Amino acid sequence: MGVVVINFKAYREGSGKLAMELAKIADDVASRSDEYIAIAVNSLDLAEIVKEVSIDVFAQHVDAVDFGSHTGRINAEMIKEKGAKGSLINHSERRLKLADIEFIVSKLRSLGLTSIVCTNNVPTTAAASALNPNYVAVEPPELIGTGIPVSKAEPEIVENSVKAAKEVNRNVKVLCGAGITCHEDYVAALDLGAEGVLLASGIVKAKDRKTALEELVGLK
């Protein structure tokens, strides 16, 4: 069984009513697939979506803070109360300092939540793995949103990231991100040693989102 995590980002197609629609599509496809399918949604949609689907729902970001005078911040306790499974951390569009990544990974672990730390190359993948997250997701930023899969354009990054991560922490799971759009890309990522993929626009912005997800996981 592979892992498919769909990041809705802040796309119009991944917000509000359209986010709920996609969440239900993912829930339906997951019920017919052998793959583990999860979604990462914005904080405003999170609580409502959690109530409507059976698949795991992740936050897209949490801040490295406890409760206190942190106006506008969202901490791990808040997303847990809303039913989130865990959170993405350090996405290329929301980079964090190493100390903040460590704080969030530790906090999520203490709350029984899952952490997915995004990285951009082999050294940062190794460094992130040392923090003992559940997943690291390697995404070269120059390929994000291009439709050019890292598993084809830069396969050595995936292979070497898997090797580096496992050398540091044999329990961490590695996801492949950036440019993943179809079943061929997904299989290629698995063949390179990744446990799955983290993707966004290939599904969220597809003309037929149900068909795109079905094709990705091999139901079409």
Q: Which residues contact 97 (CB under 8 A, 6 or more apart)?
A: none
Lookup: tokens for 130: 């040392």
| Active site amino acids | 91, 139
How many structural domains compose the chain?
A: 1
Residue 168's domain spans which residues? 3-216
Question: Which pLDDT score, from 0 to 100, does residue 144 have?
Answer: 57
d(CA 125, CA 142): 16
SS3 91: coil
pTM: 0.94
The residue whose two tokens read 């079943």 is: 183
Provide, rounded to the nearest whole percent, the portion of the chain with pLDDT above 90: 77
pLDDT in tens, 38-90: 999 999 999 999 999 999 999 999 999 999 999 999 999 999 999 999 999 99
CB 109 within 8 A of CB 149: no
Residues 6+ apart with CB under 8 A from 68: none
Helix, strand, coil share of the chain (percent; to 5): 45, 15, 40
Distance CA 152, CA 140 (A): 12
pLDDT band at 179 (very low <50, low <70, confident <90, very high): confident
With 70 as the cut, is the pLDDT of residue 149 above it? no
Over residues 111-130, the pLDDT tens digits come to: 999 999 999 888 999 999 99
CATH code for the domain of 200: 3.20.20.70
Per-residue pLDDT at 143: 55
